[in-house]
Amino acid sequence: MDLRLPFVVAPRGGRLVEAWVPAFFPALHKVGPSLSTLRDELALAVMERFEREPASRLAQYQLPPHFALKQVTVGAEARDREKARNILLEGNMTVLLEKWPRDTFWVVTPTRLPEARFALSEPAALPQALARRLVAWCLEHGLDSLDEQWTQGRERLELLEVDAYAPTILPRTPPRPRTPRRRKPRTPAKEETAPETPEQREARRNRRRLSLVELRAVARNLSHGARDDTLERCFGREALVCELVEALEGREGSALVLVGPSGAGKTALIHEAVRRLTARQEAAGTRRDVWRVDGNQFIAGMMYVGQWEARARGVVKELMEVGDLLYVDDLASLVYAGRTRNERTNVAQFLEPHMARGELTVLAESTPERFERVREEAPTLASLFRVIHVPALDARATLPALLGTLRELEAESADSSVRLSPVALETLLTLQQRFVSHEAFPGKAVRLLRRVLAREGSVEAGTRRLTTGDVIAAMREQTGLPDFVLGSAQPKTREALTWELGRQVAGQPEAVAAVTDAILTLQAALQPPDKPLATYLFVGPTGVGKTETAKALARTLFGGEQRLVRFDMSEFVTSASITRLLGRPGAPDGELTTALRTQPFCVVLFDEVEKAHPRVFDALLQFLGEGRLTDGAGRTVDARQSVVVLTSNLGVREAAAHTGFHRTADSAEAHYLSAVRAYFRPEFFNRLDRVVPFRPLTPAALRVVVDHALEALLSRHGIRRGNVLVEVEPRLLDLLVEEAYDPRYGARPLKRALEKRLTLPLAHHLVRRGADDLARVELLRDGDEMRVCVELLVNAPAWPPEPPVSSWTLAQISTELTALSARLESLMAAAEAARAAGAEGSVEEREFLERLHRLRLEATDIQENELVSRDFEDSESRVTKVMRQVTSHAHHVGHLGLRHRPAYQERPLPVSREEQLRRSRPRVLSLRDEVAWTEHQLASRERGPDVITVLAEGLGDATPSAVWTAANSLPTALAETTVFLEAVHADGRVEWFSGSDERSDDLELRRVVVRLSGLGLREVLAPLQGYALVELDQGASTRPVLVRLEHLAGAVTDLGDVAREVAARDALRGAERAALRAGTTSADAPRYVILRGYEGIMSWREGHTTTELLHVASGVHPTKAHAWAARVLRGSGPRRD
């Protein structure tokens, strides 16, 4: 019996939708991501419900010829006198209207409240009638509101068709007990039933399809995705799509497998074929769904013997009953699913006999390597399949497919007005072709395209535009490669890379050179096409930086240490341990293959490789020679985008036994090369690109290592959480190097000494002090011991507060302007008198007169124009759209100029008095500050220009950008400024530079000296002595560092003076430290933090900032020069020595 019922569909949030039959709500209510799946679930529920219904209720399963869905806005208020409460109904309610031809009324059913169904004579009276009915419902059920029943989104009506068996009118009898089965006699041919017609077979299959159990548990219905329009599109493969559709539309029982490399578009090809197949079947009134399954899903959750076998038999049975297609996204998974170490049974064995008899239609995909494994493991199964080869596209053929995919993705995105420039598309293809060799076109290009479209881009005229920069950024996120490798930045020279890596790896020039060569090769796109980017064997004593060199390579080339995949080969000393790396048939996911499959752009480190079993070397031959690995399930992993580093201690003991352990670089390389050749077999040795010898660390190199270790120590969470800023005296680090230096063990004893000498005392200090106090801890060397000196840091005392400018009234502004005008007149008179007293007047006098004249004109303009006029025609205007025909071609937009852009005209907008005050206050304040500064300068002329020299010095682990940020927080606009920089060369030389000199990339900024010269600077710069607390951005958190600002006493005019004054100051600091060591002075007095803010330097070499530090006591940014000077001159509170 065919049933047709209306059901309602509404979005639920995200990708979820909800569907229900209003007559049976909420009993028949389903929620899920696929509307087609919900339709089948509702049909099954209706069919089961219908077959149990009594005959008296069958009428509600009939569809009236007249029905409609309407949304009504309800607004009603009533009073429940019995319970003394108010009922307020405000919201939208969707209702279903139904009418039979002979009825004179409509049946109105609220979709989310079917119990409130009522009859209505005229649809025009629906709003009032619905409001009355809902009020009555609330009164009847004691409700105050209907918040849960209101319609929240847009609902639509669809039709549900169900083929169900009519319920019987016979009484139901109790079930009979089971009796033993008897063999039925064979029915004579003349008594056989009539064959099943195609219509009957289709109806039977449709009813059975609704009650599938095993198939729904392990597979996903792709045909539902085709009906919901959620499957991928396939572009540029029309011939293959047509071939696949024709093959699937043929007789039942065919078996097809698409074989092609990963990314060639096999899945998209199948999705497109399912789309077209579903459309043809709907037009013909037939149905054969496609179910996607993976071999591992058959055994998921199966714990007991025979459990997954029963599931496999159930899936095969259901497929045969409904005649649907089985789509296996990895054919080899059927061969390996179900296998154990002692049992060779697999899922494919349950499918093979039915496929051979033509009872199942199977569609599969596979890579060439995986299909070869299927041929080896299950040759009979492989022979049943017809192979359709799907070759990879080249870059030129990928472009049309990429454009089609782009249009689809733009249409699917929530922001449909997204545009990707043609140059960006070309860049996308170029980058994928150059760097992503382990995947095929067009798949890899489409995946990057999705990443690009997920970015914000730039919004112009309501359109989100994505450019080449967005493509580069998406590629950087995917690979970790830096911009200079991707081509969006200037290529780095060998010298720059050597300097950058040399800062991270101490005392190993051969290793730095080898790593630099690997990076330069990739930058120049000259990497080998059929092997890893580089394969290095690092040989040398323990603790000399072999692992640290691999980390430095991962940081420089792939963006961070998380791209280092490390294996301690001492854990692979048995022959069976190779399965940990590559996997085995029962557990195919090995540690190495999984890591490379997850992120192929990485550095793979095999630490102490000589300790591994020889079988491990055999397994690595394919990895080192061809850049690929095969796991336990036959899946190939591409490793051509990785750098392989092996470390070893071969030859170290022999080298240490000889007299003259410190050899030259050439002799050390020859010695280690001979030891490596003697240990490894020729086929393994020949796959190494270079054997890199590591030297024993010298004391100078250990000094660099301890600096790096100290930086890591000070960045630990406990120190940051304890509000401790640590500064370590260089002499103390020298003591650590002296005590821990041992060429046999490298840097490891040094790190142990660092933990003992520094970490433990800091831990004891953190336990004793309060967690909320900010302190500066200085660690000093006292002979062979360490002394801890603590300075408490507090914010500088606040200056007397000033009334906010936002509270100024019009009368106050007028009074202030009058006073300013009077002061300016007095200053101009004094300046004119001083000028008349001289012969011609100096240049300085003329400049002051010009400034005073400008300030007086500005005060007059504010007082006589801005505060009087009510119109601001130049700054604000009301825009009114004027629809008129514009014939100019400049106003045509769209295709062929068919749509005219509306013209606009501007009209003046009168501004309120409050708006005038809001705009005038900043101008008056700025004018007042500049007048105060000019008045102070005029009063300071007798003593002449002040020359103030400020030293900005970072303490502890302060970065160069933090020092530069603090130095740029001075009010340099008030004076003539000269900047001097102290920088360290890569070889350790310290040199002073002028701020205007060109600086090379291998310099590291240490200190900045700013010389300011001008009238009246002494009072203005006096408060800017103390500590600047700069917060460094570290992604998810910030790290505070200290920069000390102090005034130098001597005169400074050139680099020689700067070097002399700073040396004298360093000597003074040395004397203070000596006094602290001797205990003759104490550092317990609190020190003031005068500036606070965030690091705002893009690059100290470029010499510009992006943020400003705030003066703690006044709340003013010193870089706002006139405002800062005026605030100091108006009163900065008690003076501090």
Poorest-pLDDT segment among 454-468, 527-541, 662-676, 1094-1108:
1094-1108
Question: What is the DSSP code (8-state) at residue 62?
Answer: S
Query: Does the pLDDT of residue 309 top 50, yes or no?
Result: yes
Per-residue pLDDT band for 188 (boundaries 50, 70, 90) equals low
Per-residue pLDDT band for 406 (boundaries 50, 70, 90) equals confident
Question: What is the DSSP code (8-state) at residue 573?
Answer: -
pLDDT of residue 596: 94
Query: Does the pLDDT of residue 412 top 90, yes or no?
Result: no
Per-residue pLDDT band for 523 (boundaries 50, 70, 90) equals very high
Residue with the bigger pLDDT between 248 and 870: it is: 248
Query: Does the pLDDT of residue 609 top 90, yes or no?
Result: yes
pLDDT of residue 908: 57
Query: Does the pLDDT of residue 447 top 80, yes or no?
Result: yes
Query: Does the pLDDT of residue 896 top 60, yes or no?
Result: no
pLDDT of residue 1100: 46
Chain segment 698-723, per-residue pLDDT in tens: 888 888 888 888 878 877 777 777 67
| Nearest Cα to Cα of residue 332 among 294, 292, 359, 360 | 294
368: left (phi over 0), alpha (psi -120 to 50) or beta: alpha
Structure tokens at 139: 């009164």
Q: Is domain 199-389 given the CATH code 3.40.50.300 in the classification?
A: yes
Chain segment 792-821, per-residue pLDDT in tens: 888 889 998 887 777 778 788 888 888 888
Q: Torsion angle of alpha carbons 957, 958, 960, 965, nearest 10°?
A: 170
Distance between CA atoms of 1002 and 997, rounded to whole angstroms? 15
Mean pLDDT along residues 986-1002: 76
Per-residue pLDDT band for 1082 (boundaries 50, 70, 90) equals low
CB environment 132-168: b (16+ within 10 A), e (fewer): ebbbebbbeeebeebeebbbeeebebeebebebeeee
Residue 247 burial class via C-beta count within 10 angstroms: exposed 0-12, middle 13-18, buried 19 and up: middle
Per-residue pLDDT band for 78 (boundaries 50, 70, 90) equals confident
Residue 207 burial class via C-beta count within 10 angstroms: exposed 0-12, middle 13-18, buried 19 and up: middle
Mean pLDDT along residues 914-926: 80
Poorest-pLDDT segment among 212-221, 375-384, 485-494, 772-781:
772-781
pLDDT of residue 744: 74
Structure tokens at 679: 């240990």
Query: Does the pLDDT of residue 189 top 60, yes or no?
Result: no
Is cis: bond before 801, omega within 30 of 0? no
Query: Does the pLDDT of residue 186 top 60, yes or no?
Result: no
Query: Does the pLDDT of residue 892 top 50, yes or no?
Result: no
Distance between CA atoms of 270 and 234, rounded to whole angstroms? 9
- Total length of the chain: 1137
Distances (CA, A) of 98 to 65, 108, 116, 159: 8, 7, 14, 14
Chain segment 109-154, per-residue pLDDT in tens: 999 999 999 999 999 999 999 999 999 999 998 888 898 889 988 8
pLDDT of residue 1084: 60
Per-residue pLDDT band for 766 (boundaries 50, 70, 90) equals confident
Distances (CA, A) of 1030 to 723, 958, 1005, 1041, 1107: 13, 9, 16, 5, 11
Please report, rounded to a whole number, the percentage of residues in the chain having pLDDT higher than 70: 88
Poorest-pLDDT segment among 679-688, 877-886, 900-909, 948-957:
877-886
* Domains 199-389 and 494-696 in one fold: yes
H/E stretch holding 765 reads helix 760-768
pLDDT of residue 659: 45
| Nearest Cα to Cα of residue 254 among 323, 341, 157, 330 | 323
| Nearest Cα to Cα of residue 755 among 687, 816, 695, 709 | 709
Is cis: bond before 26, omega within 30 of 0? yes
pLDDT of residue 142: 87
| Nearest Cα to Cα of residue 552 among 593, 591, 508 | 508
Structure tokens at 981: 């920089």
| Nearest Cα to Cα of residue 160 among 8, 284, 322 | 8
Mean pLDDT along residues 303-320: 89
- Please give the radius of gyration of the chain, using alpha carbons only, rounded to the nearest integer: 41
Greatest mean pLDDT among 606-610, 827-831, 1079-1083: 606-610
Query: Does the pLDDT of residue 172 top 80, yes or no?
Result: no
Per-residue pLDDT band for 281 (boundaries 50, 70, 90) equals very high
Per-residue pLDDT band for 888 (boundaries 50, 70, 90) equals very low
Residue with the bigger pLDDT between 488 and 785: it is: 488
Greatest mean pLDDT among 360-374, 392-406, 767-781, 1037-1051: 360-374
Which residues are registered as beta bridge partners of 730? none
Greatest mean pLDDT among 308-322, 734-748, 772-786: 308-322
Query: Does the pLDDT of residue 416 top 60, yes or no?
Result: no
Residue 381 near residue 374 (C-beta atoms within 8 A): yes
Mean pLDDT along residues 685-699: 92
Chain segment 573-597, per-residue pLDDT in tens: 998 899 999 988 767 889 999 999 9
The CATH number of the structural domain formed by 494-696 is: 3.40.50.300
Per-residue pLDDT band for 886 (boundaries 50, 70, 90) equals very low
Which position has the token pair 């096999």? 266
Chain segment 360-373, per-residue pLDDT in tens: 999 999 999 999 98
Interacting residues of 116 by C-beta distance below 8 A, sequence separation 6+: 110, 133, 134, 137
DSSP 789-827: EEEEEEEPPPPPP---GGG--HHHHHHHHHHHHHHHHHH
Which residue type does 10 have? Answer: A
pLDDT of residue 701: 86
| Nearest Cα to Cα of residue 348 among 291, 289, 299 | 299
Looking only at the bridges linking them, the beta strands covering 290-293 and 1004-1014 are unpaired
pLDDT of residue 658: 60
Residue 244 near residue 274 (C-beta atoms within 8 A): no
pLDDT of residue 513: 95
Poorest-pLDDT segment among 126-135, 867-876, 1072-1081:
867-876
Query: Does the pLDDT of residue 1035 top 50, yes or no?
Result: yes
Which residue type does 672 have? Answer: Y
Residue with the bigger pLDDT between 301 and 187: it is: 301
Mean pLDDT along residues 86-99: 92
DSSP 1016-1031: THHHHHTT--EEEEEE
Residue 629 near residue 639 (C-beta atoms within 8 A): yes
Poorest-pLDDT segment among 122-136, 301-315, 470-484, 1012-1026:
301-315
Q: Is domain 945-1130 given the CATH code 3.30.70 in the classification?
A: yes
Distance between CA atoms of 750 and 698, rounded to whole angstroms? 12
Residue 878 near residue 909 (C-beta atoms within 8 A): yes
Chain segment 319-330, per-residue pLDDT in tens: 999 999 999 999
Topology of the domain covering 700-795 = Helicase, Ruva Protein; domain 3 (1.10.8)
Interacting residues of 110 by C-beta distance below 8 A, sequence separation 6+: 22, 93, 94, 95, 96, 116, 117, 130, 134, 149
Distance between CA atoms of 986 and 980, rounded to whole angstroms? 19
Query: Does the pLDDT of residue 570 top 80, yes or no?
Result: yes
pLDDT of residue 725: 81
Per-residue pLDDT band for 1070 (boundaries 50, 70, 90) equals confident
Average pLDDT value for the chain: 84
pLDDT of residue 890: 40
Chain segment 833-864, per-residue pLDDT in tens: 777 776 445 677 788 888 888 888 888 888 77
